[in-house]
């Protein structure tokens, strides 16, 4: 079984980043509670004041597909200036 991960970044206007992230609190809570979600993170970049890091890890493709369809609401979408978020398939892992 290949566990999918989603990782990348998005940018918003620097003065809107904190508001964007505050608006995502319920999204993070909802996603983390979803069946098959192993991790879900949206976080402010420490250097770039416009950038938000995105990371998701799922038990399976089925769990990811069952959850997909939800995403940023229209207000959040209008705040996003640029983004690069990609799917990765992890075939193995071990201690860091």
Q: Please report the pLDDT score of residue 71 as a whole number.
A: 55
Mean pLDDT value across residues 34-62:
96
Q: Is residue 66 part of a domain?
A: yes
Count of domains observed in the chain: 1
User: What would the mean pLDDT of 20-38 be, rounded to a whole number?
Assistant: 94
Across residues 58-87, what is the average pLDDT?
83
Per-residue model confidence as pLDDT tens digits over 69-81: 655 566 678 899 9
The answer to whether position 68 is within a domain reads yes
Q: What is the 3-state secondary structure (H, E, C) of the chain?
A: CCEEEEEEEEEECHHHHHHHHHCCHHHHHHHHCCCCEEEEEEEECCCCCCEEEEEEEECCHHHHHHHECECCCHHHHHHEEEEEEEEEEECCCCCC
CATH number of the domain enclosing 12: 3.30.70.100
Domain region containing 20: 3-90
pTM for this predicted structure = 0.86
Question: What's the rounded Cα separation, in Å, for the pair 40 and 49?
Answer: 21
Cβ(63)–Cβ(36) under 8 Å? yes
Kindly state whether residue 96 falls inside one of the protein's structural domains: no
Average pLDDT over residues 39-45: 97
Determine, yes or no, domain membership for 58.
yes
């Amino acid at each position: 079984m290949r566990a999918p991960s989603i990782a990348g970044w998005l940018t918003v206007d620097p003065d809107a980043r904190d508001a964007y992230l505050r608006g995502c609190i319920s999204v993070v809570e909802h996603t983390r509670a979803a069946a098959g979600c192993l991790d879900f993170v949206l976080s402010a970049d420490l250097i770039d004041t416009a950038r938000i890091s995105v990371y998701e890890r799922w038990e399976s493709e089925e769990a990811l597909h069952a959850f997909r369809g939800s995403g940023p609401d229209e207000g959040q979408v209008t705040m996003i200036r640029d983004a690069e978020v990609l799917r990765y398939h992890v075939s193995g892992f071990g201690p860091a």
